[in-house]
């Protein structure tokens, strides 16, 4: 049986963390290199991811993103430890490149 594919309508702005909609917040960010390319410009977030980000709860954000990815791509999820380390590193780089920084999250 083929796994269902999560289709994002063309032109719809999706959360850069979990691909959810609707997007409720944009985080100013400088472009930076990532593992498989380059992150260009600002990052968008849905309400759920925004709450984790604004609370500085990066572990909870990663758990939520991994859970959602596994739900949207059954059978295609990478090993959890590898994905978790990758996302924590990616979000750390995102934090370093944010244009407006919140004091509470720099830990």
- Could you give the CA distance from residue 14 to residue 19 in angstroms, rounded to a whole number? 5
CB atoms within 10 A of CB 21: 14
Q: Which is nearer to Zn ion, 1 or 7 (CB)?
A: 7
The correct pick among 44, 49, 53, 87 for binding Zn ion (CB under 5 A) is: 49
**Closest distance to Zn ion from the beta carbon of 18 (Å):** 3
* CB-based contact 23:15 (threshold 8 Å): yes
Q: What tokens does 49 get? A: 């991811």
| Residue 87 engages Zn ion in binding (rule: CB under 5 A) | no
The closest alpha carbon to 49, from 60, 37, 34, 38, belongs to 60
Q: Which is nearer to Zn ion, 2 or 21 (CB)?
A: 21
**Closest distance to Zn ion from the beta carbon of 8 (Å):** 13
The closest alpha carbon to 17, from 106, 80, 86, 91, belongs to 91
The one segment of 10-18, 32-40, 55-63, 85-93 that binds Zn ion by CB under 5 A = 10-18
Residues that bind Zn ion (CB under 5 A): 15, 17-18, 20, 46, 49
């Amino acid at each position: 049986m083929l796994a269902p594919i999560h289709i994002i309508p063309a032109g719809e702005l999706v959360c850069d963390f979990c691909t959810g909609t609707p997007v409720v917040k944009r985080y100013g960010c400088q472009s930076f290199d990532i593992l498989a390319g380059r992150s260009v410009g600002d990052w968008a977030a849905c309400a759920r991811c925004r709450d984790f980000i604004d609370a500085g709860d990066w572990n909870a954000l990663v758990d939520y993103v991994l859970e959602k990815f596994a739900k949207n791509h059954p059978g295609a999820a990478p090993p959890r430890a590898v994905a978790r380390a990758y996302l924590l590193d990616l979000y750390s780089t995102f934090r370093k490149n944010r244009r407006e920084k919140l004091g509470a999250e720099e830990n």
